[in-house]
Amino acid sequence: MSDRPDLAHVHVARGFADAERPLIARLFWQAFSGKLGRIMAPEPRALSFLEGALHPDFAIVARDRRGRLLGAAGIKTRAGGLVVGGFGDLARAYGPLGALWRAPLLEMTERRIAADALILDGLFVAEQARRRGVGTHLVRAVLEEAAERRCVEVRLDVVDGNDRARALYERLGFRPVAPRPMGLAGAALGVRAATTMARPVAPLIAPAGCAPSD
């Protein structure tokens, strides 16, 4: 039996099983270690932290017909996000001293969230499934999730220079709305500049602000 993913039938749904935590954490790290590595390295400790801090209710996951994980998108509202860990979670992975300086730096990377907006907070796809439409499936599922949660728009940040990601989001109706000042967070992440993009959502019912999804 081939180990290649079957991309003829991509199934997208919210959440993941505990057994999938290590793979989700590794895919996340592979996608974002370039930015987060200055704060979260070394890799074994970063993976340990991520596995414990992942919240399945804020993950949209793509699988092939055989149930193999292809990728995921993190979402964030005022109710929570995909990776939410406090000082205790950091201390378990890095020790108290390691957590002491990492916690404020990670706090600086957080953004303010409007009550009626959903944030697409990270999109990552397994290497063998890239450039084959999985990202498009995930973004469309995020838009559907936003409608179910009664949000009026989906927002995301794209690091300037990441032209491939920006082109994907533009094809799916996202438009740049403002530069995102990075400040000290940018220095910590090694990111010079980013752009906030947004796409309106047609709610399934009358908009009433983002609501927790059952």
Q: pLDDT of 100-148, one tens digit each?
A: 999 998 888 888 888 899 999 999 999 999 988 999 999 999 999 999 9
pLDDT of 87 reads: 95
How would you classify the pairing of strands 175-180 and 194-200? antiparallel
Q: Is the pLDDT of residue 57 over 60?
A: yes
pLDDT of 206 reads: 44
pLDDT of 144 reads: 95
What is the longest distance spanned by two Cα atoms in the chain?
Answer: 50
Residue pLDDT, tens place only, 5-36? 666 689 999 999 999 999 999 999 999 998 89
Q: Which of 97-101, 130-134, 188-192 has the highest mean pLDDT?
A: 97-101
Cα separation of 95 and 8, whole Å? 45
Among 75-84, 113-122, 158-167, 179-188, which is the least confidently predicted range? 179-188
Cα separation of 107 and 115, whole Å? 20
- Going from N- to C-terminal start, the domains of the chain cover 11-200
pTM metric for this prediction: 0.88
Mean pLDDT of all residues in the chain? 89
Alpha helices for 5-74 (secondary structure H): 21-40, 43-53
pLDDT of 199 reads: 97
Cα separation of 32 and 27, whole Å? 9
What superfamily in CATH does domain 11-200 come from? Gcn5-related N-acetyltransferase (GNAT) (3.40.630.30)
- pLDDT (mean) for 46-63: 97
Measured CA to CA in angstroms, residue 200 lies from 82, 114, 122 at distances of: 22, 14, 19
Band (50; pLDDT cuts 50, 70, 90):
very high
Q: Is the pLDDT of residue 208 over 60?
A: no
Spell out the residues 6+ positions from residue 177 whose beta carbon is closer than 8 angstroms to its own: 155, 196, 197, 198
Band (1; pLDDT cuts 50, 70, 90):
very low
Omega before residue 42 within 30° of 0, cis: yes
pLDDT of 6 reads: 63
